[in-house]
Structure 1
Amino acid sequence: MRPILSALSLTLLLAPNPGAAASFNCTKTGLAPDEKAICANRDLNDADVRMVTTLHLLAGLFAMGVRGNMMDDQASWLKQRQACKADVACIRDAYKRRQGQLDQIYNNIDRPI
């Protein structure tokens, strides 16, 4: 999975859209404190790109029920990230936890031998 995600992430990072992270527009007014921190920090922006890319990849692999559960988990996670406000370390930890959860989902997919 790492080569696929790396290629997708690189594609998203190289795409000409300087004012956007993967999941929201950094140029819009009224950004929440966590969003402002993500837009201002390249590492957090990259973590956002990777997480959203992984989520979209996984969403395309599963039927509606599993996909719905994944999106419910994502909504819960987003509330946790928002609770970090502008705390960069807290946001970074939130991304690490969520990326780990998504990687676990991918690693547990049954594959033919």
Structure 2
Amino acid sequence: MKRSALLILTIFGLTAALPAQAASFNCAKAVAADEVAICQNPELSERDTEMAALWFAYNKVPMLMGANAARRDAATDFLKLRAACGSDTACLGRVYQARVTALRAEISLAMDALAAQQ
């Protein structure tokens, strides 16, 4: 449980230290409607940065066999949902909120499971 709390605090510290306009992709090369909308909207860009930091942490958590494929599938599903929003910022906000919530929950569960094994 201590490791889970420490990881979550570290993640929040990382997201707070990142610039507000950063995104998980290069805005100079953004051509897709969703990416352009994210780059033009400071709140969505911040949400993208938060999601990217959570994904980075989640991707470092050791998983049981088969869980890595599920982790990749969830990331692919997120990108499809995000693309389906196009330039609709309200839709993008909902998709990001759901992804951030899911990543936080998955990190917490994974860390608790890892701590239980030790």
TM-score, normalising length from structure 1?
A: 0.82
Work out which structure has the larger RCO, using CA pairs closer than 8 Å and 6 or more positions apart in sequence. 2
Q: Which residue does the alignment assign to 2:91?
A: 90
Q: Which residue does the alignment assign to 1:31?
A: 31
Instruction: Flag the structure with higher helix content.
Output: 2
Q: Which residue does the alignment assign to 1:72?
A: 73
Q: Which residue does the alignment assign to 1:50?
A: 50
Q: Which residue does the alignment assign to 1:12?
A: 18
Residue deviations 1:22-58 (CA, integer Å, cap 9, x gap)? x210011x51010011001111011111111111101
TM-score, normalising length from structure 2?
A: 0.79
Q: Is 2:4 aligned against 1:3?
A: no
Q: CA RMSD in A?
A: 2.1
Instruction: Report how far residue 62 of structure 1 moved.
Output: 2.0
Q: Select between 86-95 and 100-109 the one with higher mean Cα deviation.
A: 100-109
Gaps of at least 5 residues in structure 2 are 1-6
Runs of 4+ in structure 1 off by over 4 angstroms are none
SS of match in other structure, 2:27: coil
Q: Aligned residues, how many?
A: 107
CA distance in 2, matches of 1:76, 1:36: 19
Counterpart residue type for residue 38 of structure 2: I
Gaps of at least 5 residues in structure 1 are none
Same amino acid, percent of matched pairs: 32
Instruction: Report how far residue 90 of structure 1 moved.
Output: 0.1
Instruction: Report how far residue 66 of structure 1 moved.
Output: 1.9
